[in-house]
Structure 1
Amino acid sequence: MTVNKVGERLTNSTRWAIAAMALAALMAVLNGTTVTASLEAMAPALDTTISGVVWITTVYLVAASASVPLIGWLTARIGSARVLQLALVGFALGSLLSGFAWDLPSMLVFRVLQGLAGGMLEPAALAVIGVLTPVSLMGRVMGFVSLVINLGPVVGPLLGGFLVSVGAWAWIFWMNVPLAVLVGIAAWRLLPSDEQRGDSGATVDVLGLLLLPPGFVLVLLGVNRWGAGAAPVIVGALVLAGVALLVAYVRHALRVEEPLVDIRLLRIPSFAAALGIMSVVGLVMYTQLAVLPILAERSLALAPIWQALPVAVLGSGLLVSMTLAGRFSDDIGPRILVRSGAAVTAVTALLIAFGHDRWPLGVVLGLVALLGLGFGAIASPTFASLYRVLPKASIAQGTAALFIMLQLFASTGVTVVGFLTEASANPASSAHFVIAGAAVIVTFAASLLPSRADDAAVAPASQPRT
């Protein structure tokens, strides 16, 4: 497609389109964090227990996981803009119905609908951004998008807590409706006409549909149930069945010309490295979000009203570094930024692990802010690099692969913190040792990223046929 740009500058319409897509991605993240923060308040309203209300998150996660692998095929079939609009309609309808749920079974049904659409919402929006953005501006744009998306983990718990405190938990869902309408209008008015169409003759990988989504869902559900304390035999059966289906899918995907998600994209070294690092990003991000409230309560002895403070401090560091690192990556490439950010993340995580229960509050919060600054310098350049090394025609496929890995490792991070909370006398220290170890791995993987911004632009020329 012809990108809306003048030289190396985005036109105003493209800027507004990218802003609308960033808002669509934020909606999906914000929904997850506000709902999670409000589950306890929903239990009496839905006449259920805490153990029952946890399924509100679980069924959404499973439904969202099932729809992510469809992004590539749907984009080829109906166009990226229509995939986004389909996701917006489903997400708005699911949100509206969830706010009217009268008991747990009705809520779970409505959350499945919302999850099927929500699973496509963020990756569809990012795929559109990847197509609209010139390679030379990818870092700046993805830095901005990362900044917007990462408002979700910071704002979500605060917003959810406020709505629950005023007895308005249904608005956690209903607020999505006007946002979806706003983004839908923007997509209809601002996206290029060729993004509104697809190829009606695009074939569907039927065997891939039978292997990849169920396999991914089973593995994710197994990890989720492990974190919830399910019997090992159940967890093992779910994970083994899922892994068997995924192995079968990989063998199938390497044999057909147009698989559901093209595994052959991993033959591009820079893409494989970026995907691996983003998997670590998912693990580290959600490990931090899960463990910081524990640190606030047990180590810092903060009052309940202040226990979200470490998360807000982390988010502040992330917002600054993601914006700046994304912009710098356009000029100097991602490798040095990611490696430096990983080093800062590893050292800071170790300092927090050793001193969080002995040092003054200001020192610990300063280290949390520094951890956010270092981690943001990993996430934003890698995120931009992933889209920079792919040809436009493969962006939807690459986005599907990205979100499969992000969801799997994000769930793993939350589960690890749950396990450490039960098994470790000091879960905050143990979790930060995990974060430090993951950051060390990133310092080595960063060597496979482009050393200069213009190196990435030539990578797609040798990429396999998709």
Structure 2
Amino acid sequence: MSAPATPAAPDAGDKLDRGVLKVASVVVLGAIMAILDTTVVNVALQKLTIQFTTSFDTIQWVATGYMLALATVIPVTGWASDRFGTKRLYLLAIGTFLIGSMLAGLAWNVESLIAFRVVQGLGGGMLMPAGMTILTRTAGPQRIGRVMSVLGVPMLLGPMAGPILGGWLVDSVSWRWIFYINVPIGLIAFLLALKLLPKDDPEPSGRFDFLGMLMVSPGLAALIFGVSRIPSTGTVGALEVWLPALAGIVLLVAFVLRARTVEHPLIDLKLFRNRSFSVAMATMAVFCIGFFGAMLLLPTYFVLVRGETALNAGLLLVPQSLGAVVSMPIAGRLADKIAPRKIVVPGLVLIVAGMIAFTQVTATTSYPLLLAALFVVGLGLGCTMMPITSAALQTLQSKDMAKASTATNILQQTAGAIGSAVMSIILAALLAGKFGVPTSQGQLVATAATMNPATHDAAAGLAGESFATTFLWGTILLALCLVPAFFLPKKRVVPAATESDEVAPPVLMH
């Protein structure tokens, strides 16, 4: 590990002094920028579909490509922090994010937009873990709890502010400004980081598993790309479907076989020998596929079926964030006292209960019902993500935390990307079937029909049925999470730390 920043004075107790708060302001600014960009784009997908005359299964790669890039760069961050220093890495992350944001705003077609979103994701993926490392080293291990409360701010604000900000920019300014808005924020964050972040001296670190990364990252991308081409081709037998999917599977299998023999693999598969970790990862994977996939479609439902503006679609999602704001602090306190299963299972039940309302949506479903359902989903969300992560880590030794954090973050981002692709495929196929057109044209035809006053009512009804069925699949996946969740630990177990164990930084999901 690189030399830590000068720790706070011992008599500081649990209070975060001025120096720590300065560093925290930089890290939180960067975190807000990264988290906003995972949510701000969702409300613009319908607008982008029309802008670039493409299908939803293609445009969703604007979100999926960003998430995959996040997953790709996460394992590099820990190694690069030691090799180059956390301050340099953080500045590089902000710079990369800024370049990606500017280029995305200048995109001339859907392919260039997706490519520039990947660049954005590479920077965004380094921002959170690098910033968290800087802050925890500055504050010292005795104040990690307070640090987590500071870093929790963007986790709560991002999902709430992102759709509203994105909707306003799309409606009142231009879709390009959902990317340009990052430029002034990023410049301020870069200058503050340059001035306020403590210097650190990079030290030689262990060899990074580049070969493993060349297997995992392209393997995941190829597999998801192949699956995403099913709607446009209409068959799994098409060359552009089975060839990349097969290549992805081969690369991932090769990584698993190799990881069992090398000394420092990209993902330490030995962690999965721990039953609690394995069960929690299975729960997390299924949850992210179902939840993030379904949530990607919610703004599109409000815009396409209900005729709302992008801004209104963002505002309609606020109850979900409010629900999470209510339940997350409570769940966080309980996670230190009771078994994760006693928090996660009720949380999943709440999410499924809220999602049931969306499995019945039509073009005229009551808004109070939908808003209440979203609030219930938010309550459940606050009781699931962090407690599942706690369940994964609580039985591991401190020396395994960094490796477990890498595996957990990669799993969350890739499962979310898979969920986005799968739900988009289902929706595209259903819309095509309802309107009797090729799969690639389903959303475009549905959009045109809903915008035509003569066909609006009938088209909105057919589109509503398509969304209801898609949400049903997402709800089924979320209900399936209850199976592994019931095998989470019955009681909270904390292993005895050894003197050789290093204090590991906390895990913060984004």
Instruction: Give the equivalent residue in structure 1 for 2:248.
Output: 242
Instruction: Indicate whether 1:116 and 2:122 are aligned.
Output: yes
Instruction: Give the equivalent residue in structure 1 for 2:494.
Output: 456
Indicate if the aligned counterparts of 1:22 and 1:149 stay in contact, CA closer than 8 A: no
Match of residue 210, structure 1, among 192, 209, 214: 214
Match of residue 476, structure 2, among 414, 429, 434: 434
Instruction: Indicate whether 1:180 and 2:222 are aligned.
Output: no
C-alpha distance in 2 between matches for 1:230 and 1:3: 59
Instruction: Indicate whether 1:257 and 2:263 are aligned.
Output: yes
**Shift, 1:324, TM fit:** 2.7
User: Taking structure 2 as the reference length, what is the TM-score of the superposition?
Assistant: 0.73
Deviations 1:232-269 (A, max 9, x none): 23333222211221121122222122222322233344
Instruction: Give the equivalent residue in structure 2 for 1:312.
Output: 318
Instruction: Give the equivalent residue in structure 2 for 1:446.
Output: 488
Give unpaired runs (5+ residues) of structure 2: 431-464, 505-510
**Shift, 1:218, TM fit:** 1.8
C-alpha distance in 2 between matches for 1:228 and 1:23: 40
Which deviates the most, 197-206 or 256-265? 197-206
Instruction: Give the equivalent residue in structure 2 for 1:200.
Output: 204
C-alpha distance in 2 between matches for 1:355 and 1:163: 27
**Shift, 1:70, TM fit:** 2.2
C-alpha distance in 2 between matches for 1:31 and 1:290: 13
Instruction: Give the equivalent residue in structure 2 for 1:286.
Output: 292
Deviations 1:144-163 (A, max 9, x none): 64552353343223222322
Deviations 1:95-119 (A, max 9, x none): 2333345566765654443333233
C-alpha distance in 1 between matches for 2:280 and 2:87: 25
Cα–Cα, structure 1 residues 43 and 206, in superposed 2: closer, same or farther, change >3 Å?
closer
> For residues 327-366 of structure 1, what are the structure 2 equivalents within 5 Å?
327-332=333-338, 334-350=340-356, 353=359, 360-366=366-372
C-alpha distance in 1 between matches for 2:339 and 2:488: 11
For residue 216 of structure 1, what is the amino acid of its counterpart? L
Instruction: Give the equivalent residue in structure 1 for 2:453.
Output: none
Which deviates the most, 269-278 or 334-343? 269-278
Instruction: Give the equivalent residue in structure 2 for 1:220.
Output: 224
Match of residue 404, structure 1, among 398, 401, 410: 410
**Shift, 1:341, TM fit:** 1.8
**Shift, 1:74, TM fit:** 2.0
Deviations 1:26-60 (A, max 9, x none): 32232243334335656898xx5335866655654
Match of residue 275, structure 1, among 265, 270, 281: 281
Indicate if the aligned counterparts of 1:268 and 1:459 stay in contact, CA closer than 8 A: no
**Shift, 1:91, TM fit:** 0.9
C-alpha distance in 1 between matches for 2:495 and 2:16: 18
Instruction: Give the equivalent residue in structure 2 for 1:376.
Output: 382
For residue 488 of structure 2, what is the amino acid of its counterpart? A
Which deviates the most, 30-39 or 402-411? 30-39
For residue 483 of structure 2, what is the amino acid of its counterpart? I
Which deviates the most, 259-268 or 244-253? 259-268
For residue 279 of structure 1, what is the amino acid of its counterpart? A
Match of residue 164, structure 2, among 158, 174, 187: 158
C-alpha distance in 2 between matches for 1:99 and 1:397: 35
**Shift, 1:430, TM fit:** 1.0
**Shift, 1:369, TM fit:** 0.7
For residue 408 of structure 1, what is the amino acid of its counterpart? T
Instruction: Indicate whether 1:27 and 2:65 are aligned.
Output: no
Cα–Cα, structure 1 residues 303 and 168, in superposed 2: closer, same or farther, change >3 Å?
closer
Indicate if the aligned counterparts of 2:106 and 2:176 stay in contact, CA closer than 8 A: yes
Cα–Cα, structure 1 residues 287 and 110, in superposed 2: closer, same or farther, change >3 Å?
closer
For residue 218 of structure 1, what is the amino acid of its counterpart? A
**Shift, 1:121, TM fit:** 2.8
Indicate if the aligned counterparts of 1:310 and 1:365 stay in contact, CA closer than 8 A: yes
Structure with a larger share of its residues in helix = 1
Cα–Cα, structure 1 residues 229 and 381, in superposed 2: closer, same or farther, change >3 Å?
farther
C-alpha distance in 2 between matches for 1:169 and 1:79: 36
| Number of residues of Structure 1 aligned to a counterpart in Structure 2 | 456
Give unpaired runs (5+ residues) of structure 1: none
Q: Partner of 2:296: helix, strand, or coil? A: helix
Match of residue 321, structure 1, among 286, 306, 327: 327
Indicate if the aligned counterparts of 1:136 and 1:330 stay in contact, CA closer than 8 A: no
**Shift, 1:317, TM fit:** 0.7
C-alpha distance in 2 between matches for 1:457 and 1:198: 31
Cα–Cα, structure 1 residues 64 and 329, in superposed 2: closer, same or farther, change >3 Å?
closer
**Shift, 1:274, TM fit:** 3.8
C-alpha distance in 1 between matches for 2:138 and 2:339: 20
- What value does the CA root-mean-square deviation take over the aligned residues? 4.1
Instruction: Give the equivalent residue in structure 1 for 2:89.
Output: 83
Deviations 1:291-326 (A, max 9, x none): 434664688x57446444542211211122123322
C-alpha distance in 1 between matches for 2:135 and 2:323: 24
Deviations 1:200-237 (A, max 9, x none): 35323243233222222222333444466675233332
C-alpha distance in 2 between matches for 1:220 and 1:127: 31
Cα–Cα, structure 1 residues 460 and 82, in superposed 2: closer, same or farther, change >3 Å?
farther
For residue 494 of structure 2, what is the amino acid of its counterpart? A
Q: % of aligned pairs identical? A: 29
C-alpha distance in 2 between matches for 1:324 and 1:12: 28
For residue 379 of structure 1, what is the amino acid of its counterpart? M
Cα–Cα, structure 1 residues 55 and 212, in superposed 2: closer, same or farther, change >3 Å?
closer
Indicate if the aligned counterparts of 2:350 and 2:380 stay in contact, CA closer than 8 A: yes
Instruction: Indicate whether 1:50 and 2:54 are aligned.
Output: yes
For residue 328 of structure 2, what is the amino acid of its counterpart? M
Cα–Cα, structure 1 residues 376 and 57, in superposed 2: closer, same or farther, change >3 Å?
closer
C-alpha distance in 2 between matches for 1:384 and 1:172: 34
Indicate if the aligned counterparts of 1:387 and 1:395 stay in contact, CA closer than 8 A: yes
Q: Partner of 1:447: helix, strand, or coil? A: coil
